[in-house]
Amino acid sequence: MMAGNKAVGARIAAILPGLCRDRGWQAQVEVYSLLRRWPEIMDTEVVAHSHPDKITAGVLWIEVKNLAWMQQLQYRRADMLAALNARLHHAQIKEIRLRLPDKQTAALKEETATVRFLPPDPAALSTFTKLAAAVKDPACRQALIDFWYLSHACQKDEEA
Residue (of 52, 56, 38, 58) closest to 99 by Cα position: 52
**Predicted pLDDT at 115:** 62
Residue 76 confidence (pLDDT): 94
User: Could you tell me the pTM of the whole model?
Assistant: 0.56
Q: What is the pLDDT of residue 46?
A: 92
Please check whether residue 50 is in contact with residue 73, taking contact to mean a CB–CB distance below 8 angstroms: yes
Pick 50 or 11 by higher pLDDT: 50
Architecture, CATH, for domain 2-156? 2-Layer Sandwich (3.30)
3-class DSSP state for residue 117? strand
**pLDDT value for 160:** 39
Q: Which residue from 107, 157, 156, 143 is spatially nearest to 29, judged by alpha carbons?
A: 143
Q: Roughly how many angstroms between the first and final C-alpha of the chain, as a whole number?
A: 38
More confident residue, 148 or 157: 148
Grouping H, G, I as helix, E, B as strand and the rest as coil, residue 114 is coil
pLDDT of residue 150: 80
Instruction: State how far the Cα of 114 lies from the Cα of 71, in Å rounded to an integer.
Output: 31
Partners of residue 55 on adjacent β-strands = 60
| CA distances (Å), origin 139, targets 8, 126, 136, 142 | 18, 18, 9, 5
Return the closest-CA partner of residue 142 out of 4, 10, 30: 30
Each residue's pLDDT tens digit, 26-67: 767 777 788 888 999 999 999 999 999 888 888 999 999 999
Query: pLDDT by residue (tens digit) across 67-126?
Result: 999 999 999 999 999 999 998 887 889 999 999 987 645 554 555 556 667 778 889 889
10 has a pLDDT exceeding 70:
yes
